[in-house]
Amino acid sequence: MAEGRATANQVRGVRGDAMAATVPGREPLARNVFRVVALVVGATVVLGCLWQGTTVAREIGASLRSAGDWFFFAGLLEVLGDFWDGLGPGGQILLTAVAVGLLGMAGMSLALALGVTGVATWAMSHGRGLSAFVRDPMEATRSYARAFTLEQLALDALDFGLTFMPGSALSAGTRSAARSLASSRAAMARAEDLGEMFTHFQRHAELDATLRAAQVRLGSIMPPGYTARDFGKKNLKDSVKQLKDAGYTDEQITALKDAVRDVRNLRGARNRAAEYVGERGGEQVLTREGYYIPQSFRSTGPHQAGPGNYAVDSMAVSPLGDHIVIPEIKGGSATVSTKPVQTLHEGYASQATPPYVRDRMLRDQRMVQFFRDNPALWESVKMR
Check whether residue 1 and residue 147 sit in a common domain.
yes
Is there a domain that residue 23 lies in?
A: no
Considering the domain architecture, whether residues 284 and 318 belong to the same structural domain is answered as no
Q: Looking at the structure, do residues 159 and 254 belong to the same domain, yes or no?
A: no
In a shared domain, residues 277 and 371: no
Is residue 271 domain-shared with residue 347, that is, in the same domain?
Answer: no
Say if 35 falls within a structural domain. Answer: no
Residue 128 lies in domain? 1-7+69-164
Q: Name 182's Cβ contacts closer than 8 Å, sequence gap at least 6.
A: none
The pLDDT score that the predictor gives to residue 210 is 93
Q: How confident is the model at residue 170 (pLDDT cuts 50, 70, 90)?
A: very low
pLDDT of residue 163: 63
pLDDT higher than 80, residue 187: no
Establish if 178 belongs to a structural domain. no
Q: Say whether both 328 and 283 belong to one domain.
A: no
Percent helix, strand and coil across the chain, each to the nearest 5: 75, 0, 25
pLDDT at 241 over 70: yes
Which has more pLDDT, 4 or 171? Answer: 4
Give mean pLDDT, residues 73-82. 74
Pairwise CA distance, residues 290 & 316, whole Å: 10
Average pLDDT over residues 111-138: 76
Which of 150, 112, 152 minimizes the C-alpha distance to 129? 152
% of the chain beyond a pLDDT of 70: 81
| Mean pLDDT across 291-313 | 89
Per-residue pLDDT band at 191 (split at 50, 70, 90) = confident
Strands (DSSP E) along the chain, which ranges? 316-317, 324-325, 341-342, 348-349
**In the chain, how many H helices and how many E strands?**
13, 4
Residues 229 and 157 in one domain: no
CA dist., res. 352 & res. 33, Å (int): 78
Q: Residue 267: inside a domain, yes or no?
A: yes
Tell me, yes or no, whether 279 lies in a domain: yes
Q: pLDDT at position 316, please?
A: 92
Which of 245, 273, 288 is the last residue in one of the domains?
A: 288
Band of the pLDDT at 91, cuts 50, 70, 90? Answer: confident
When the pLDDT of each residue in the chain is averaged and rounded to a whole number, the result is 80
Among 45-54, 84-93, 342-351, whose mean pLDDT is lowest? 84-93
In a 3-state reduction of DSSP, which class is residue 349?
Answer: strand
| pLDDT average, residue stretch 276-294 | 89
Q: Decide: 119 and 159 in contact? Cβ < 8 Å.
A: no
Number of domains composing the chain:
3
Q: Do 131 and 77 belong to one domain?
A: yes
Report residue 47's pLDDT band, with 50, 70 and 90 as the boundaries.
very high
Q: Say if residue 318 is in the same domain as residue 272.
A: no
Is residue 28 included in any domain, yes or no? no
Q: For 99-119, write each residue's pLDDT tens digit.
A: 888 887 877 777 777 777 878
Kindly state whether residue 300 falls inside one of the protein's structural domains.
Answer: no
- CA-to-CA distance for 364 and 372, rounded, in angstroms? 13
Looking at residue 28, its pLDDT comes to 64
The predicted structure's pLDDT at residue 343: 93
* pLDDT tens readout for residues 323-369: 889 998 887 666 788 899 999 999 999 998 999 999 999 999 999 89
Per-residue confidence at 10, pLDDT binned at 50, 70, 90? confident
Query: Which whole number is the average pLDDT over 300-325?
Result: 86
Predicted pLDDT at 365:
92
249 and 345 belong to one structural domain = no
Asked if residue 174 is part of any domain, the answer here is: no
Mean pLDDT, residues 148-171: 63
Whether 134 and 3 map to the same domain: the answer is yes
The reply to whether 74 and 135 lie within a common domain is yes
